[in-house]
């Protein structure tokens, strides 16, 4: 989960892009102020989507998942 105390420095270009996307997705809401938390949430959500997809792809094709996703999948019997 995302911890409120884990503040990560966000690159200015990434922060600008996230603020732009926020203003497009939620035009009636207030300005985005917690960019690091949004970035951490997006990373966590992306990985939680890609990990099961990598396992499914591995089950179909026997192609190993990328290194970035292996930490989560190593304990599973299909990849051990």
Q: Where are the domains of the chain?
A: 12-73
Copy the structure tokens of residue 15: 């922060």
Phi, psi dihedrals of residue 76, rounded to the nearest 5°: -80, 145
Per residue in 48-79, pLDDT (tens digit) is 898 888 888 888 998 877 777 666 555 544 44
Q: Alpha-carbon distance 67 to 4, whole Å?
A: 28
Per residue in 18-28, pLDDT (tens digit) is 999 999 998 88
CB hemisphere CA count around 42 (13 angstroms): 13
Q: Do the beta carbons of residue 67 and residue 52 sit within 8 Å?
A: no
Residue in the structure block whose two tokens are 């989960």: 1
């Amino acid at each position: 989960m995302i911890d409120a105390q884990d503040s990560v420095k966000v690159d200015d270009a990434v922060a600008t892009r996230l603020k732009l996307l926020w203003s497009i997705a939620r035009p009636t809401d207030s300005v985005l102020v917690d960019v690091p938390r949004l970035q951490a949430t997006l990373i966590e959500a992306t990985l939680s989507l890609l990990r099961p997809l990598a396992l499914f792809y591995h089950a179909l094709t026997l192609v190993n998942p990328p290194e970035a996703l292996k930490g989560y999948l190593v304990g599973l019997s299909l990849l051990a």
